[in-house]
């Protein structure tokens, strides 16, 4: 187990190096000159030169890459160009809001989609199944944006069940007052693709011989479904949840922007609009790291869920 983890961590190094290289090249060769962004519109050539020197932009590319690597290793990205906040503080203060919204979404999505999918897969080909599949196809064809616009209008403005938008300092108020509407809308949208996907996993399992064997042995249907099929379908479901997991740190940009939730997603989008390179670079590199670690965690979980899995 430990050897496996070490091996996997070692394998991440080249990938991570690639991510760093990609981000560096992207911003170094394709981005506009940071010194011009920083100096503003009425800068003298001397001011620009001074900023270039300060950022090390007058150095050759490999030296700059060295500076970049050092920033990553020491977790010191300096300050946001726009707000002059330290990038690390920025992350630490924006992350809780993102998690407050994204964690309930992921949990509800999974908890609701799994039983629905199992139920639909069980009655495959029936009217319920076909109706639900058509409904999800149509539901999927409508943009997330429409759900959010209409949802906010109907639930927040017309019916007044939730505040239209807002955010407070208390996590409890946020969870009970401000988060429910965005969470509800995101779950409504997320549940269609999840159900379709999990349905296909269950269908796949239901066709296996062991299901027929279990039924032939006289197992009751609930036992067949929950003890046999569900456990076997756990692997692909887990993979899927694992794939979605890094997303809860990124946050839903659309939801955060739309509901003015001061989370990480909104912050990164603001950074993109302000050409605030340190924030974008830091977000990209660290979230890539996090994604890889979560993938490793998912692979380790396979072993827990399915003893047949051999980690190698």
Partner 1 sequence: MSAVMTSSADVPVQRSAGVWLTAWRRFQGDRVGMVSMVVVAAFLLLIAAATTGLVASQWQRELAVPNAPPTILGPRAGEDAGTLAGPESQAQPPVDLSDIDPLAPRYKEWAERASKLQTTETVKAQTLPLGADRLGRDVLAKAIKGTEISVFVGVLAALLATVIGTVLGALGGFFGGKVGDFLEWVYNVFTAVPDILLIFAFAAVLGRGVDTVVLILALTGWTGLYRQVRAEFIKHRGREYVRAAEAIGASTTSRMFRHILPNVSHVILVRMSLLVVGFIKSEVILSYLGLGVPIDQVSWGTMLAEAQSELILGHWWQLATATAFMAVFVTAFSLMADGWRDALDPKLRGAE
Interacting residues toward partner 1 by CB under 8 A = 14-16, 18-19, 21-23, 26-27, 30-32, 137-138, 140-146, 149-150, 153, 157, 193, 196-197, 200, 203, 246-247, 250, 253-254, 257, 268-269, 271-273, 275, 277, 280-281, 283-284, 287-288, 291-292
Residue spans of alpha helices (H) in the chain: 2-25, 34-39, 45-55, 61-74, 87-122, 127-141, 144-151, 171-173, 180-206, 209-216, 221-222, 230-244, 247-250, 253-258, 264-273, 277-305
Minimum Å gap between C-beta 249 and partner 1 is 8
Distances (CA, A) of 38 to 51, 130, 178, 269: 8, 57, 36, 18
Give Cα 108 to chain centroid, integer Å. 15
Indicate if the alpha-carbon torsion angle 252, 32, 55, 66 is positive or negative.
positive
Distance CA 122, CA 192 (A): 17
Choose between 104 and 251: whose C-beta lies nearer to partner 1. 251
Minimum Å gap between C-beta 187 and partner 1 is 18
Distance CA 132, CA 120 (A): 8
Choose between 47 and 275: whose C-beta lies nearer to partner 1. 275
Choose between 157 and 226: whose C-beta lies nearer to partner 1. 157
Minimum Å gap between C-beta 195 and partner 1 is 10
Choose between 42 and 273: whose C-beta lies nearer to partner 1. 273
Choose between 19 and 185: whose C-beta lies nearer to partner 1. 19
Minimum Å gap between C-beta 129 and partner 1 is 11
Minimum Å gap between C-beta 85 and partner 1 is 18
């Amino acid at each position: 187990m430990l050897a496996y983890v070490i091996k996997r961590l070692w394998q991440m190094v080249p990938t991570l190096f690639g991510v760093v290289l990609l981000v560096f090249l992207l911003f170094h060769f394709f981005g506009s000159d940071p010194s011009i962004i920083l100096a503003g519109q009425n800068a003298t050539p001397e001011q620009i030169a001074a900023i270039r020197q300060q950022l090390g932009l007058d150095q050759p590319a490999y030296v700059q890459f060295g500076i970049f690597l050092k920033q990553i290793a020491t977790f010191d990205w300096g300050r946001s160009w726009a707000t002059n906040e330290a990038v690390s503080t920025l992350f630490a203060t924006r992350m809780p809001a993102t998690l407050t919204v994204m964690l309930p979404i992921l949990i509800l999505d999974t908890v609701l989609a799994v039983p629905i999918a199992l139920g639909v897969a069980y009655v495959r080909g029936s009217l319920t199944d076909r109706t639900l599949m058509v409904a999800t196809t149509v539901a999927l064809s409508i943009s997330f944006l429409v759900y959010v616009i209409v949802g906010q209008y109907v639930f927040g403005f017309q019916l007044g069940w939730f505040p239209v938008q807002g955010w407070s300092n208390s996590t409890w108020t946020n969870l009970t007052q401000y988060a429910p509407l965005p969470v509800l809308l995101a779950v409504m949208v997320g549940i269609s693709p999840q159900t379709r996907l999990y349905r296909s996993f269950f269908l796949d399992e239901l066709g296996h011989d062991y299901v027929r064997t279990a039924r032939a042995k006289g197992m009751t249907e609930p036992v067949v479904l929950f003890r046999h099929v569900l456990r076997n379908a756990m692997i692909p479901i887990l993979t899927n949840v694992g794939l979605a997991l890094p997303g809860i740190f990124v946050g839903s940009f659309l939801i955060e922007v739309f509901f003015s939730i001061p989370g990480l997603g909104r912050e990164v989008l603001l950074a993109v609009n302000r050409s605030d390179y340190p924030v974008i670079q830091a977000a990209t590199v660290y979230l890539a790291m996090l994604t890889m670690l979560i993938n490793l965690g998912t692979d380790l979980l396979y072993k827990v869920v399915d003893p047949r899995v051999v980690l190698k």
